[in-house]
Structure 1
């Protein structure tokens, strides 16, 4: 399958030039299968250095400890045999190793459309769009507060983007809906506008329970006992703190056998040491403590080694994206996750620029390249992220998707299926000829080489004749065209009614003014 976004269908030469012109305009929005990344992994540590990070992390867990600000978690750890002093949990390395051994090294996500099921772990990877933006840059490239309709727009674009394997959850914050009730409408939007995998809100333990209830309506409670259908994100408070909100949400997901991302939130140099290896050692200890706790809650529950990485400008204190140290940390964390044989999550195509400019492109490309060579499994924030996550840009979302499709194609490795047939063209053409009119070229011109739709490779004269459009304008035109072609993958009517009834009941029960923390 051609990893182009949107894809073009492969056909024979029959019908000549007009048929090929028609073919180029046809679009196929079928999701690409989960990526099997065959690229050699970039490993910047030797075996002794991996063990050195592991030993340093275990020393932190045993001697510094991790704060679990949650009485239920403290009691769980006490029963598991950990040493407790106040809210600080001291974890013996033997206990940690025994617990994380029961985390599945890979598992399958089940989507509403079974054709969109996905394997995760090992060399299997998925692309997931960004979440959590309090602003968007819209179809007119105007920065403003988002609405529920804007969120639906991004879920529709995710559905129509073959290289995206998920709709995530709150890609943008819907400000036109009460904050205490948003998780219901956000979850429903993912379920309604797409039949791909989605994420579940973890903004409070009760919100997480609501998401689990809605998933049970959509998939069936018994089905969820054996099949992962969504993902929760559990952010740590670095350094070395897990709070009651996140731990309660973790339990809600793990008890229902649904995977969570155990994600320390790294601001390198601010909440970690000003050293790449020492930062990784602290992050590793934080991630291991949460991963181990998932197995205290439910042995064998799927869990994902997570993190969010940024470094901090020592000039302004602002988080930075695309720096060399972030790439190095991705390589190192990939090695540590493989050392423990657990799937791992990273962040992708991150940008700190305020508009979709060259800075945004360079930062995103640097991150994407390192993520692919690090061998990440759950590749989050893969489309739209800019301004350090403060806004989701429609234009950048569209271009990021195409970049993910290009990365997908690269990570598949060389395709050898037509090697012998292609070689037969060499004597046919001979010295000094060209291959443009050869039958093999005519049959394979669409799939042999990736042809980006959003990058302009024409002459400057042709570019000017086409309106001198820069990439932001081209991407916004593409977004409008995609939305015009969107077809909703209809929910089963009975399940849809049950979901709406559940939302209506919970909205009556939840005070509209109730303030809740937000996911990262």
Structure 2
């Protein structure tokens, strides 16, 4: 029996592709930055004011220069990440202005929260990226907050980076800081050192600040996560198929621009599109429509030979509750099972991107670990099956006392930290199933156990001076 999550036939893939090409060729995409319009003009694209029209041949030529796999370098080379093909990775919560504490209280995020998120990321066995923007501190101006968040991510972790939001100043800043860390210009490095989230403004437009960022990051060879968030029924058609076609059209338009700027710059397509809450006009991340859109996007990316982004431990809930668990687990498992390569927002998000929770981070992290274990290839050999052992134990015997069991009993199965298994008495002893209380204790333990990764003292001194020069003159 095949995959049941919206498997597309070749005919259906062609239908969605042809619809996307008609959207790009007949409706076009508005690029609200003259610099971007000039780039398209230089390459012979049809322009009407700020609207660019794409011929199918132009799109396919651009897609032909996108690498199907690429590496993002970490400060610690052992933690560099490869995306595409059989390689996938998890990123943490990103760009949340609020924090929701264990008791459900919502408050403005602070730099201390960003730093604690860095500690959790660095001590994680399952998250693959740090981010320059996890909890956005309210005590600084947006510009200073961006600098200080990126500084924290670089100095407090040694992992590959998800950049601050896509804006020219953020593109310049990560290039300047990377030059301090690596001692050479990013364009001279073998791989990008960051990936930036580039979000179209649905329907069918790109804002000027996003385009300025896209141009800056692309020129410097940094990876681009060009993903759309279409709200079916509000910023896109109310049909899921129509929303999927609009989403892929918006992503392909941005990828085309990136390849015109710098052919071969790594790009990831996809999105986080979802149904709208037609009662309030808000998002409905947790519905089954998100899973349908995930499956379609991954198959379309495969059709184009592109790495794909979708999903995350996402929820509409504003506390760590049953709704958050149901929605997050579904939205996390679906993209991995479908074959997505980059799972943004994998740990810590509440309230449809609006808030981060440290307790939910560690709960989500356990889900990430379970999924990684579930999809890891099993050893299926005569040795691993071991029919000799099965014969030795025989009918009605016990495997518990066998030496093979003793040799692997501590490593064979997933080591759950927070999910409660075992007897009723064990459950009662662990706060009677209060996972949030256990998570709060675990967060405290993780933060206390954090050890700052090694960094060259001269590099750290220069990074500190970079920040101080900007904001303490």
Give your verdict on TM over 0.5: yes
Give the TM-score normalised by the residue count of structure 1: 0.87
Name 2:467's counterpart in structure 1. 503
| Alignment partner, residue 77 of structure 1 | 40
RMSD over aligned CA atoms reads 1.8
Contact 1:111 1:229 in 2 (8 A): yes
Alignment of 1:208 onto 2:205: no
Residue 374 of structure 1 deviates from its aligned partner by: 1.5
1:300 paired residue among 261, 264, 285? 264
Deviations 1:340-367 (A, max 9, x none): 1111111311111121110001101111
CA distance in 1, matches of 2:417, 2:465: 43
Q: Deviations over 1:95-114 (max 9, x none)?
A: 11101110111111110001
Write the distance in 1 (CA, Å) between the matches of 2:233 and 2:276.
Answer: 6
Residues in 2 aligned to 1:140 and 1:160: alpha-carbon distance in whole angstroms: 24
**Structure-to-structure mapping, 1:220-259, within 5 angstroms:** 220-222=183-185, 224-225=187-188, 226-259=190-223
Equivalence for 1:382: 346
Aligned to 1:351: 315
Matched, 1:275 2:239: yes
2:22 paired with 1:59: yes
Cα distance in 2 for residues equivalent to 1:227 and 1:268: 36
Partner of residue 160 from structure 1, selected from 105, 117, 123:
123
Is the Cα–Cα contact under 8 Å of residues 129 and 382 in structure 1 kept in the other structure?
yes
Gaps of 5+ in 2: none
Aligned residue among 57, 63, 70 for 1:94: 57
Instruction: Give the SS at the match of 1:426.
Output: helix
State the Cα distance separating 1:430 from its structure 2 match. Answer: 1.5
Determine the C-alpha separation between the residues in 2 that align with 1:452 and 1:415: 22
Is residue 2:113 matched to residue 1:134? no
Specify the alignment match of 1:452 in structure 2: 416
Residues 140-151 of structure 1: matches in 2 within 5 Å?
Answer: 142-151=105-114
Distance change >3 Å, CA 126–CA 420, structure 1 → 2: closer
Which deviates more from structure 2 when the two are superposed, residues 417-426 or residues 178-187? 417-426
Question: Quick check: 1:41–1:374 contact (8 Å CA) kept in 2?
Answer: no
SS in 1 for 2:230: strand
Which residue of the partner structure matches residue 454 of structure 2?
490
Query: How far is 1:415 from its partner?
Result: 2.5
Cα drift, residue 461 of structure 1: 2.7
- CA distance in 2 between counterparts of 1:476 and 1:202 reads 29
Contact residue 170 and residue 186 of structure 1 kept, 8 A: yes
CA contact (8 A) 1:156 1:483 kept: yes
**CA spacing shift, 1:277–1:488, aligned 2, 3 Å:** same
- What is the deviation of 1:265? 2.0
Partner of 2:175, secondary structure, is helix
Q: Which has the higher contact order (CA 8 A, sep 6+)?
A: 1
* Distance in 2 separating the partners of 1:477 and 1:418: 43
The yes-or-no answer on 1:263 pairing with 2:265 is no
Deviation at 1:139, TM superposition (A): 5.8
